[in-house]
Structure 1
Amino acid sequence: MPANHAVVYEGPGKVEVKEVPYPTFEVKDGPGVNPANVGRKVPHGAIIKSVATSICGSDQHMVRGRTTAPAGLTLGHEITGEVVETGPDVEFIKTGDLVSVPFNIACGRCRNCKERKTGVCENVNPDRAGSAYGYVDMGGWVGGQAEYVLVPYADWNLLKYPDKEQAMEKILDLAMLSDIFPTGYHGCVTAGVTTGSTVYIAGAGPVGLAAATSAFLLGAAVVIVADLNKDRLNQARSFGCETIDVSQGDPADQIEQILGTPEVDCAVDAVGFEARGHGADAAKEQPATVLNTLMKVTRAGGALGIPGLYVTGDPGAEDEAAKHGSLSIQIGLGWAKSLGFTTGQCPVMKYNRQLMMAILHDRVQIAKAVNATPIPLEQAPQGYRDFDRGAARKYVLDPHGMLPKAA
């Protein structure tokens, strides 16, 4: 049995690469594991050798101490890898397959899974619907920023790449299928982006850039990306986006300068609960700012896609209400404008096969758009620090030294 090293959360601002147990086909007790899941048998699972596993903004929320994540939690929910072992109940996935792992863990059997709502599977998290690898309050499934990871319900969850050699040639693009590309695409689809749309995307981090890429793929006429970070705005401009620096004032005024009108057809929140204010308030954390701005700048009858993360508990929030997930949302404005809202985890399996085909047939270059940057597993702590400082990159961990050969 080989050694298994992984990125482990050790407390606010601190991650380390440590040796962790090699996965087995049973859920073991450990940091963050739901007691009701301990001892759960996983004969339907597969053990994956991680080829690429990325650092996500959602991970950063935990590392900043903005959740109740326990020390010792193995991080990582963006996983692409090779199957090295399958459980006795796995029928179709085979050893040697190169696969994408949706960050949602789903059983394929419950009502929600059968309705393609795999982000809120009812059977994998004893506390509530919805689960993910390496994430607080998500059932305790061990994270995938590791050399090896267990994936349950392998026949259902895993997306097999049809040609392994071809996939390795595009592995950095395909690594985005586990989360940020489908998440950005879901934000655009639920916002109603279509041919000729004008689109406002709040946030130029990897999910915002993936949403911008998705908007163009869906036929948008103009994509406007807003952020406070100049390097990330430069990255958005590198593939054709218009940009807004929200530290310079009201986004509506800047939208009007671009479009001749202060409103857009569709809007996407790719920021979430650690949002900051606009204009003179740009240095202050104001978690409702993005949602209220989106309602203001979206035309009546339009829709908002909200893949940005919001939480029920934020111990680091600056006001008491926000600590419990309560924000000062101008719901009356949204109601008056008949706006549609879609929130929650992206159901990755709803989109990942189609987006895989777009990548394999050269319809999109998502890795270039998000500036995907491979680093060795042992450099993960530095990657987290650089990402937290606002690096305009999507850091992709390379546990087995396979990415440089593929790039």
Structure 2
Amino acid sequence: MLAVVYKENSQVKVEEVEDPKLESPTDCVIRVTSAGICGSDLHMYEGRTASKAGQVFGHENMGVVEQVGPGVRSIKKGDRVVLPFNIACGTCFDCVRGRTEACLVANPEAPHAGYGYAGMGPYRGGQAELLRVPWADYNCLKIPGQPGDELEDDFLLLSDVFPTAYHGTELANVRPGATVAVFGAGPVGLLAGYCALLRGASEVYVVDSVPERLAKVKEMGAIPIDFTKGDPVKQIIDLRRGNPLIMGALRAGEEKAMGVMCGIDAVGYQSRDIKGADAHGGREKPTQVLEQLVELVNPTGSIGVIGVYMAPDPGAPDENAKQGIYPLPWAKVFDKGITVGTGQTPVKRYNHFLRDLIIAGRARPSMIVSHRLPLQDAPDAYKKFDARKDGYTKVILKPQLSPKARA
């Protein structure tokens, strides 16, 4: 089969690799119809992880079941399924508590597992024509319709970015009427703002610098904040102070809480120093977003951290950052009584009801998708997505569009 294979820093190729096989009675094999390129894939692409040459990328996967093992009961050949990026056994201590992002069985080296990702076990990714799925009954989410229909892209986003965005709003305690600031308008950040609106937030600010992303923020009904135009914390506070209805509702003393109650970090360890940054680049400052959120979030507010922080990071700007060690303003966090939630998303906690929002027409997360490309276009797509240029907001690879000729 053809697959997207990591070769070296900033280089992937589409190559012929061995077809997957059933390795356990509880496995299935799917023919992939859609596979997303995630912002997290760029960490590996840029050499910022321990990923090794030969890794098949792709943790955002959906397709049609081709084979099932004799132990599979609820999934059959021909079923259309989407897969959480977390691979989980379904029966360990963490899985039975709904913490499938921390399965203790699936990865022999760490308390989490996933498809095609550094440090997440011996599993190939799904940016390929075929994919083996362990514990198929537990990990496959059945979806209606036919491959390539009008909901294909919406359903694919149930694999990662839609549940991850929703998880960010859970960690940040977004409730009806909440004030929310999301830092980062990549796919997850855009959908975090979208999920905050779905949950009834009264104000949603989304901070970024890429014009196409900021235009998408405005299109979905949130308030874009361009950090190249000045300190985003000050911009948001000034906007709130400039609203006479907000100011007219304050009692004496409440002017001390002119920030927001809920903050979401959708950037992670590759955040950029706002000093000198432009729309497409700038010096890295891993703590930039966290520092700004601690400043912006009101006393007793909450911060949800869904942007990736990872160690080791060979490309980090200093020796501490290479080991995932960052100086943070914890005294201010304590003084303000801010709640901080972090970690990978337990996709299975959310994907059933998010699927049903899509089926009911209440959610259309595919509004963030910018490009739908055949598998052989992956090298160019990675390059352009990494450069944040040419409108590359969210890319979905369609293996079935690939020509039959082999690379």
**Quick check: TM above 0.5?**
yes
Report if aligned partners of 1:167, 1:174 keep a CA contact under 8 Å in 2.
no
Tell me if structure 1 keeps the 8 A contact 2:384–2:392.
Answer: no
How many Å separate the matches in 2 of 1:333 and 1:308? 21
After TM superposition, list the pairs within 5 Å mapping 1:231-242 onto structure 2: 231-242=212-223
Contact 2:31 2:64 in 1 (8 A): yes
Match of 1:289 in 2: 288
- Out of 89, 101, 126, the position equivalent to 1:144 is 126
Q: Could you list the runs of 5+ residues in structure 1 that have no partner in the other structure?
A: 27-41, 403-407
Q: Deviations over 1:25-45 (max 9, x none)?
A: 23xxxxxxxxxxxxxxx2211
After the TM superposition, which residues 39-54 of structure 1 pair with which residues of structure 2 at under 5 Å, given as runs? Answer: 42-54=24-36
Look up the match of 1:23.
20
Q: Which runs of 5+ in 2 are unaligned?
A: 242-256, 403-407
Partners of 1:258 and 1:105 in 2: CA distance: 43
Cα distance in structure 1, aligned partners of 2:276 and 2:59:
36
Q: What is the CA–CA distance in structure 2 between the aligned matches of 1:350 and 1:167, rounded to whole Å?
A: 26
Q: CA deviation at 1:371?
A: 2.8
Q: TM-score, with normalisation over the residues of structure 1?
A: 0.91
2:261 to 249, 261, 265: 265
**Contact 1:97/1:164 (8 A) holds in 2:** no
| 1:70 positional shift | 0.3
CA distance in 2, matches of 1:59, 1:113: 25
Counterparts of 1:66 and 1:142, CA distance in 2: 19
Amino acid across the alignment from 1:269: D
1:374 matches 2:375: no
What is the CA distance between 1:302 and its match in structure 2?
Answer: 1.1
Q: Which residue identity is paired with 1:275? A: S
1:352 paired to 2:351: yes
SS in 2 for 1:321: helix
Which deviates further from its counterpart, 201-210 or 281-290?
281-290
The match for 1:14 is 11
Residue 159 of structure 2 corresponds to 178
Q: CA RMSD in A?
A: 1.5
> How far apart are 1:100 and its partner, in Å?
0.8
Q: CA shift at 1:281, angstroms? A: 6.0
SS of aligned partner of 1:73 = coil
The Cα shift of 1:275 comes to 0.6
Equivalent pair of 2:63/2:147 in contact (CA under 8 Å): no
Which residue matches 1:401?
401
Distance in 1 (CA, whole Å) between partners of 2:155 and 2:361 is 12
Aligned 8 A contact 2:305 2:342 in 1: yes
Deviation string 1:133-159 (CA, Å, 9 cap, x unpaired) is: 000111121111000000100001110
Amino acid at match of 1:316: G
In the TM superposition, 1:87-98 aligns within 5 A as 87-98=69-80
Structure 1 residue 296: deviation in Å? 1.0
Which residue of 1 is the match for residue 298 of structure 2?
Answer: 299
Residue 190 of structure 2 is aligned to residue 193 of structure 1: no
Instruction: Give the number of aligned pairs.
Output: 382
Q: CA distance change for structure 1 residues 348 and 396 in 2, over 3 Å: closer, same or farther?
A: same
| Aligned amino acid, residue 78 of structure 1 | E
Distance 1:126 1:378 in 2: 33
What residue is the counterpart of 2:46 in the other structure?
64
Q: Distance in 2 between matches of 1:219 and 1:127?
A: 40
Query: Contact (CA 8 Å) 1:311, 1:325: kept in 2 or not?
Result: yes
**AA matched with 2:396:** V
Task: Tell me the residue number matched to 2:245.
Answer: none
What CA distance in whole angstroms lies between the structure 2 residues aligned with 1:219 and 1:187? 15
TM-score by length of 2: 0.91
Identity of aligned residues (%): 40
1:168 deviates by 3.0
Deviation at residue 392 of structure 1 after TM alignment: 4.1
